[in-house]
Amino acid sequence: MMQIATCSCHQEKKNEGFHEGKNLYKIKKLGKLPEKIQETSGLALATKEGTFWTHNDSGNPAHLYEIAQSGKIIRQLNLPQLTNTDWEDLGQDIKGNLYIADVGNNANQRKDLVVYKIHPNQATDKETIHFHYADQTAFPPPPNEQNFDCEAIVWHKEKLYLFSKNRSKTNRFVKLYTIPDVAGSYVATPQDSVYSKAMVTGADISPNGKTLALLTYGKILLFDVSEGINFKKPTYCIKANLGQSEAIVFVNDTDFVVTNEQKGELWSIKRK
């Protein structure tokens, strides 16, 4: 994708006050996923040290895969009670519950957005979290208002936070929404917004709850969220030409792993 190869942090630094962060991190390729995981779109830590949960996106079977850093599949978790309309990300709480975000909405016209809550050790059980966006009134909206796709969620303190993938060419803002983390039907109201020239494709919060990472095509945006999940304290923009990267997870308070959907690669991004 040409926009990835040519992207920079210039606009984010200019519009939001980010600092250049690439020189603070070491980027290293870890491994490659098998063809069975051809559209990796979400990441969460698994129970074994150094392993991760991931999944394919739209139209694929409702399966989770536990993978090693090399990309090797350790186990496959089949979830026949779920449907993969367009799985786009994984959230995870402190009890080990996973939140599977079936929220992909490329055409901005879905009315069946849902997050599934499961625990890998009790995979036959599930909670279903339905929601819709408070500020969406047309399905789809006009082209310059198509900001109701989502490929990024995180869990924090009994809430789920969703980040929009803005498809408008004129309005380059990411919107932040929040909903409860328990079964029910909710209205997601926008809480904040931030400029991003590139579309957001994944998100995670550091284990200590102090840093939010937004993954985009070609860069990673970091925020200080020690006083609450919002965009008020942007810190670093890290240029990372990792192709069509769509999933990110913190492995500790400073370092993260990213997967690439286009080539099925795993990358380590470690603070120097």
160-210, pLDDT tens digit by residue?
A: 999 999 998 888 999 999 999 999 999 999 999 999 999 999 999 999 999
Between 61-65, 151-155, 258-262, the lowest mean confidence (pLDDT) is in: 258-262
Across 117-137, average pLDDT: 95
∠ Cα 104 215 154 (to 5°): 65
Please say if the pLDDT value at position 127 is more than 70.
yes
**Tokens, residue 60:** 């694929």
Return the HEC string of the chain. CHHHHCCCCHHHHHHHCCEECHHHEEEEEEEECCCCCCCEEEEEECCCCCEEEEEECCCCCCEEEEEECCCCEEEEEECCCCCCCCEEEEEECCCCCEEEEECCCCCCCCCCCEEEEECHHHCCCCEEEEEEECCCCCCCCCHHHCCCEEEEEEEECCEEEEEEECCCCCCCEEEEEEEECCCEEEEEEEEEEEECCCCEEEEEECCCCCEEEEEECCEEEEEECCCCCCCCCEEEEEECCCCCEEEEEECCCCCEEEEECCCCEEEEEEEC
d(CA 24, CA 235): 12
Residue 4 pLDDT: 53
Across 90-117, average pLDDT: 97
Give the confidence band of 2 by pLDDT, cuts at 50, 70, 90.
Answer: very low
36-50, pLDDT tens digit by residue?
A: 999 999 999 998 889
29-84, pLDDT tens digit by residue?
A: 999 999 999 999 999 999 888 999 999 999 899 999 999 999 999 999 999 999 99
> pTM, whole model, 2 decimals?
0.96
